[in-house]
Chains A and B, each alone.
Chain A
């Protein structure tokens, strides 16, 4: 069982940071919607507030790490230009996808959308954290502000889902591979 360093980075970026953000997003949406509703009479304790503050801060950190690793570590490998005359495009995912009409759309639509739409996520969730950090339980007294934060978080969930979906499909059709090979485990061979 082996994995390349580029494959490992892609795995950490998508299955680690990105997937974790998606999982966390649903929890934050439910908590903000349920516990901070204007008509909710149940008390919000300092512990409840602290939990959501740390939760949203963690989500913002995750979102930033995800887009930064994607943009500055993985994307350069993805868009690398092969030397003239290269026949085997395995190490050049973008060129590999564009070399075939059946897979070209994964780049021209999938990656082109993913690389931009993903950046809406850290902007939205950082805003959500900042607003909650300032208003905390007082958000119940500002239902329109809470609605705006919830809406941005839902769009961030959608944007992260789009980026995640295309990331998975791109990696299926043209995986980012290369660099050192890391030997994980010895399996049985027949």
Chain B
């Protein structure tokens, strides 16, 4: 427990690496993108649609979202473990993750998803 009072600022830890943050950001981007790809695949391919039917009342949406969340969390755990003590080019990692997130937003839009 810190001995400083609640209103006293303490100096920022300069030495903290950005690896775990980069892992969280990139995993979120990839997880989101995997959701969009799985949504399109389950819409276009009957075999995937059937495979994604984890919970019948909800239909393939249950499998698409559960699988995407699994991909996201697994990737996050692996990247965090590999990058925990590293300093990465955060600008590049952030841009890649953001592009994946924006693509996810666009690819889940049915008129765009229907182009595939």
Contact = CB atoms under 8 A, between A and B. Distances in A.
A31 interface: no
Contacts of B110: 108-109, 112-113
| B24, B55, B64, B68 interface centre (most CB from chain A within 10 Å) | B24
Interface string B86-114: 00001101100110011011001111010
A77 to B, nearest CB: 9
Contacts of A141: 12, 14, 16
Contacts of B35: 116, 119-120, 123
A43 B18 CA distance: 21
Interface residues of B, number: 50
Interface in A130-176: 130-131, 134-135, 137-138, 140-142, 144-145, 147-149, 151-152, 155, 158-159
Contact of B101 (A47, A120, A130, A135): A120
Interface string A96-136: 00000000000011001101110110011011001100110
Contacts of A72: 55, 57-58, 62
A109 B59 contact: no
Interface string B27-61: 11001100110010000000000000001011101
Contacts of B93: 148
Interface of A: 43-47, 67, 71-72, 75-76, 79, 108-109, 112-113, 115-117, 119-120, 123-124, 126-127, 130-131, 134-135, 137-138, 140-142, 144-145, 147-149, 151-152, 155, 158-159
